Amino acid sequence: MKQIIFIFMSLLCFSCSSKAQNQTADTNVQSDKKILVAYFSCTGTTEKAADAIAKTVGGKLYQITPATAYTSADLDWNNKSSRSSIEMTTENSRPELGGEALNLKDYDMIFLGYPIWWNLCPRPVNTFLEKYDFSGKTVIPFATSGGSSITNSVKQLKKLYPKIVWGESRLLNGSVKQAGEWAKGVI
Ligand SMILES: Cc1cc2nc3c(=O)[nH]c(=O)nc-3n(C[C@H](O)[C@H](O)[C@H](O)COP(=O)(O)O)c2cc1C
């Protein structure tokens, strides 16, 4: 009787562990491409999407960090004198960046995430794109917003940086699961 119970328990354990492995394989994909997930985020929404993408595709997460962090007063788009309003109405504004230096040679594919500001990408994202040499790299934009689409921001990025190979972009205002699923289909 003891032997039968032991065999039954062993079979049960085996079935549980293989199910767990399958679950991991289902949610995370492995790619031979070296993937960077660079993102700018002030209130955490884009960060959550970036984190889900990095986890799903096995990419390195990198935060685009301004040298001076944005305060909530800086983010007040109703105040035309706020920092973000001044930056967004000044086309050549390129706020200085802080954060760790990046070696782009280590990556083949870059997911680039940002919140939509004034129907564009925030200016620190432009600083980032001009700080490193992205020519010939595939950059895949994604964004979160209060409702605006990503289209206008991408149109402007393509115009400003024609040497970058731009992948198909996506607005990720849904769940983090949706963000991961989308990224899986891209790589
Ligand atoms: C300065 C500023 C400007 C914004 N402009 C827009 C806009 O033009 N269209 C829009 O849909 N949302 C706009 N938003 C809302 C953000 O895109 C949205 O809240 C985003 O998810 C924030 O991302 P984060 O939490 O990663 O910073 C703006 C937010 C800020 C702070």
- DSSP per-residue codes, 85-139: HHHHHSTT----B-S----GGG-SEEEEEEE-BTTB--HHHHHHHHHS--TT-EE
Listed by start position, the domains of the chain span 35-185
Token output for 61: 């997460």
Q: DSSP class of residue 36?
A: E
Atom of ligand 1 minimally distant from the CA of 43:
25
Taken in order 107, 127, 80, 70, is the CA torsion positive or negative? positive
Which residue's C-alpha comes closest to atom 2 of ligand 1? Answer: 117
Atom of ligand 1 minimally distant from the CA of 48:
26
* 146 C-alpha to ligand 1 centroid (Å): 6
Q: Domain 35-185 falls in which CATH fold?
A: Rossmann fold (3.40.50)
User: What pLDDT does residue 27 have?
Assistant: 54
C-beta neighbour count of 119 within 10 angstroms: 14
Token output for 147: 């409702």
**Is the Cβ–Cβ distance between 106 and 34 less than 8 Å?**
yes
User: What pLDDT does residue 32 have?
Assistant: 83
Q: DSSP class of residue 72?
A: T
Of 38, 34, 56, residue with least CA distance to 46: 38
User: What pLDDT does residue 18 have?
Assistant: 36
* 23 C-alpha to ligand 1 centroid (Å): 34
* Ranges of the chain whose pLDDT falls below 70: 1-27, 30
User: What pLDDT does residue 136 have?
Assistant: 87
**Is the Cβ–Cβ distance between 75 and 115 less than 8 Å?**
no
Q: DSSP class of residue 167?
A: P
- Structure confidence by residue, pLDDT tens digits, 148-161: 999 999 999 999 99
Q: How far apart are CA 180 and CA 44, in angstroms?
A: 16
30: left (phi over 0), alpha (psi -120 to 50) or beta: beta
Three-state secondary structure call for residue 62: strand
Best substitution site from 118, 145, 149 to test ligand 1's pocket, by max atoms within 8 Å of Cβ? 145
The structure tokens 């354990």 sit at 13
Show Cβ contacts of residue 129 under 8 Å, excluding neighbours closer than 6 positions. 112, 157, 160, 161, 164
